[in-house]
Structure 1
Amino acid sequence: MGRGREMALMSARPAALFLVVCVAARAALAIQDGLLPNGNFEQAPNKSQLNGSRVMGRYAIPHWEISGFVEYIGSGQKQGDMLLPVPEGAYAVRLGNDASIQQRLPLKRGTHYSITFCAARTCAQTEQLNITVAPESDVLPIQTVYTSSGWDCYSWAFKARHSTETFIVHNPGVEEDPACGPLIDLFAIKTLPPPQRLKDNILRNGDFEQGPYMFPNTPWGVLLPPMDEDDYSPVSPWMIMSSTKSIKYVDSAHYKVPHGAHAVELVSGLETALVQDVPTVPGRPYRLQFAAGDAGDGCAGSMAVQAYAARGSVRVPYQSRGKGGCTRGALDFTAIANQTRVAFVSMSYNMKTDGTLCGPVLDDVSLVCTRTHRARRLLL
């Protein structure tokens, strides 16, 4: 009897070892942070699969699959009198009427990821892109331009349900000119670990250090588009509440950041709110603190950030010279529910001299229960 059990255990060990090896191999195969395979479209289609700039083969662009009217655009190419720029490298792709481009991604099941990509409007007036990793899908409005170059980088986040997922970018527009549609370029991915709650801060990711991938050679930041409340945010657990406008994610390499390496710039005035829901105890006092200023990007003038929590609110004004700097804001309030929504809104509409939208920078946000802090001081 003991001999049989020993033999069974010995035969089970290779199977268990094989399973461990398979799991480790699958994890190793998951895509790494950075540019997607041919994410910058510098690997060109064969000339035999091009009709002018139109891509004719479904698999003509290496690592991508296309459908519909898709064009392969070279830097400096023209459409009539309009110059079609490319943000980085020599090539980009344009999605015409009802066109799409997709790529299969090896992922780690149950993990959250963010996709960063750049897009530019061309000849259509209300351009948008439908981004999908099933079952999650969102329409990103791109009609508002936030840079003087015409190119903006966007981010979108999702949870991997399977070890391999299909990432799809679709232009749902139908224009009289079938070639009218957005230019797209520079697709990258980043793994988003669960945001940790720091000591003495009920908020998570209050310093915005966890966020989407940022291209080192694109100095205009990354837009955080509006999202549904059940979506996963690229700056989770912060949510961007708006109908069509965005918030900008910025880094210390290209902007003046009050704290750490990243912050957000509230570039859309009253049309967009940055919110986070946090656990609170009804009847207890809390203090919300934050830094508000300017990102040193030439955004000058009168600014104001309004913070809301429970029944309280505070407005923090800031007179910007566009060269960086910040002031501290604080809001004391009493919780009225088991969950409190903290929200930030720019109360002003600001614009740089080149005509692009800008606004106050927000960073270093914290929330503490002041009763707990008073009790600690008494014990000391």
Structure 2
Amino acid sequence: MAENTSTRCLLLLVLVSAAAGVASGIADGPLPNGIFEQGPDASQLNGTRVTRQDAIPCWEISGFVEYIQSGQNQQDGMVLAVPEGAHAVRLGNGASIRQQLTNLARRSYYSITFSAARTCAQAEQLNVSVAPESGVLPIQTVYTSSGWDSYSYAFKARHTTAWLTIQNPGVEEDAACGPLVDAFAIKTIGPPHHEKGNMLKNGDFEDGPYIGPDNPWGLLVPPMDEDDVSPLPGWMIMSDTKSVKYVDAAHHKVPHGSYAVELVAGSECALLQEARTVAGRSYRLSFSVGDAGNGCAQPLAVKASAAYSSQVVTYESQGTGGSKRAELEFAAIADATRVVFQSMNHYMKPDGTLCGPVVDDVSLVSVHKHAARRLFM
């Protein structure tokens, strides 16, 4: 049986690579059996519980793991939906699932994306690791009406192979209680770099994690320590438990290019980048503020800060897209300056889900002046 499972996984890996048109290196897109449509044989299930470590092709499991079909009812009457395909995996107390990533390029950067949904506890979280890096993704805040959110995590490859592990560290009275996970994908992301005429890296957010064609709600980029690899090269997200959302032009209105960031957590979360500056010299920070065309129809306010200067920019959103440009001039006070963006308030759509202003096309230039002033748009 184990040989049959390995054969199915190898076939999936070949098909994924062929579809991506790559001869070597890991392909951008879904991981082999990343949406769990290849499941255990009936003999490897006890109800919904998976009984063998290698029963799910391309994955290894540990602990109380269930193979869930979309529309399945829980004991409490909740119906479990699945974001992609017809199946997902549920991680019970202390349970984990892992897949070996192959054909990685050493010292290259990668982002992992997947979807997750709470099923019981209010403070669920997931431990994500690609050894030796690891991180904790808080999933207690739900940002979509479906209950499913998509998350991103990034790492720098140390070797050509590595184990991706997702673990539920929770311990609940019900051993099966834990989040559902689905839709795993990977993407190579570039090291942070400057575009010509911009002191900031990745100021237009065009380099970022993989958003699948069937993902209508964007990706959450969770808070991270300063030494973590960011799924948004060049940018950090500072918060205790809240995230920003990475959105694409295929499913949202984006001010510039193909991607932008939606600030969905109010002042509890900051999007920031540190740039090298010269104390006493003047700089101009330019950026776009708008709405994602997702029904967030209300005045949306963003606070931009740098050194001792700040500016609040309001965009009168109709919820159908659109944006405005804004500028902030400031005098640097040190050889490094943090550029910070925060949403001024918590905003909700009519369905009760969180939304917020979109920030995009951010640039920083020296204006070679010694007196700072603000330009209000």
Report the TM-score, using the length of structure 2 for normalisation. Answer: 0.90
2:144 is matched by which residue type in structure 1?
T
Counterpart of 2:85 (choices 80, 89, 112) is: 89
Is the counterpart of residue 104 in structure 1 residue 63 in structure 2? no
Aligned to 1:268: 265
1:89 is matched by which residue type in structure 2?
G
Is the counterpart of residue 48 in structure 1 residue 43 in structure 2? yes
* CA displacement at 1:114 relative to structure 2: 0.2
Counterpart of 1:254 (choices 216, 238, 251) is: 251
Please tell me whether the aligned partners of residues 302 and 348 of structure 1 are also in contact (alpha carbons under 8 angstroms).
Answer: no
Is the counterpart of residue 202 in structure 1 residue 226 in structure 2? no
* CA displacement at 1:327 relative to structure 2: 1.4
Q: Whose Rg is larger?
A: 1
* CA displacement at 1:161 relative to structure 2: 0.8
Is the counterpart of residue 367 in structure 1 residue 364 in structure 2? yes
* CA displacement at 1:131 relative to structure 2: 0.1
Counterpart of 2:354 (choices 357, 365, 380) is: 357
Question: What's the CA shift string for 1:266-306, capped at 9, x where partnerless?
Answer: 00000000000111111111000100011110001121100
2:157 is matched by which residue type in structure 1?
A
Please tell me whether the aligned partners of residues 305 and 340 of structure 2 are also in contact (alpha carbons under 8 angstroms).
Answer: yes
* CA displacement at 1:50 relative to structure 2: 0.3
2:247 is matched by which residue type in structure 1?
V
* CA displacement at 1:28 relative to structure 2: 5.3
* CA displacement at 1:195 relative to structure 2: 2.9
1:248 is matched by which residue type in structure 2?
K
Q: In 1, Cα distance between the equivalents of 2:142 and 2:200?
A: 31
* CA displacement at 1:108 relative to structure 2: 1.1
Aligned to 1:153: 150
- Equivalences, count: 346
1:194 is matched by which residue type in structure 2?
P
Q: In 2, Cα distance between the equivalents of 1:28 and 1:314?
A: 49
CA root-mean-square deviation: 1.1
Q: In 2, Cα distance between the equivalents of 1:304 and 1:261?
A: 22
Partner SS, residue 250 of structure 2: coil
Counterpart of 2:165 (choices 141, 158, 168) is: 168
Equivalent positions of 1:226-237 (< 5 A) are 226-237=223-234
Equivalent positions of 1:1-380 (< 5 A) are 29-80=24-75, 81-106=77-102, 107-371=104-368
Partner SS, residue 165 of structure 2: strand
Please tell me whether the aligned partners of residues 115 and 157 of structure 1 are also in contact (alpha carbons under 8 angstroms).
Answer: yes
Report the TM-score, using the length of structure 1 for normalisation. Answer: 0.90
Q: In 2, Cα distance between the equivalents of 1:259 and 1:314?
A: 21
Q: In 2, Cα distance between the equivalents of 1:33 and 1:320?
A: 34
* CA displacement at 1:29 relative to structure 2: 4.4
Question: What's the CA shift string for 1:104-139, capped at 9, x where partnerless?
Answer: 111111111000000001011211000001111111
Q: In 1, Cα distance between the equivalents of 2:26 and 2:305?
A: 39
Q: In 1, Cα distance between the equivalents of 2:301 and 2:86?
A: 41
Q: In 2, Cα distance between the equivalents of 1:72 and 1:312?
A: 53
Please tell me whether the aligned partners of residues 110 and 159 of structure 1 are also in contact (alpha carbons under 8 angstroms).
Answer: yes
Give identity over the alignment, percent. 66
Please tell me whether the aligned partners of residues 93 and 176 of structure 2 are also in contact (alpha carbons under 8 angstroms).
Answer: yes
2:48 is matched by which residue type in structure 1?
S
Question: What's the CA shift string for 1:33-75, capped at 9, x where partnerless?
Answer: 1111100100011110000000000000000000000000001
Q: In 2, Cα distance between the equivalents of 1:179 and 1:195?
A: 41
Higher helix share: 1
Q: In 2, Cα distance between the equivalents of 1:243 and 1:102?
A: 26
Q: In 2, Cα distance between the equivalents of 1:318 and 1:90?
A: 40
1:201 is matched by which residue type in structure 2?
N
1:58 is matched by which residue type in structure 2?
Q
Q: In 1, Cα distance between the equivalents of 2:363 and 2:231?
A: 19
Partner SS, residue 321 of structure 1: coil
Partner SS, residue 317 of structure 2: strand
Partner SS, residue 283 of structure 2: strand
Aligned to 2:6: none
Question: What's the CA shift string for 1:231-256, capped at 9, x where partnerless?
Answer: 01111110000000110000111111
Q: In 1, Cα distance between the equivalents of 2:353 and 2:223?
A: 19
Please tell me whether the aligned partners of residues 288 and 326 of structure 2 are also in contact (alpha carbons under 8 angstroms).
Answer: yes
Please tell me whether the aligned partners of residues 190 and 233 of structure 2 are also in contact (alpha carbons under 8 angstroms).
Answer: no
Q: In 1, Cα distance between the equivalents of 2:122 and 2:331?
A: 46
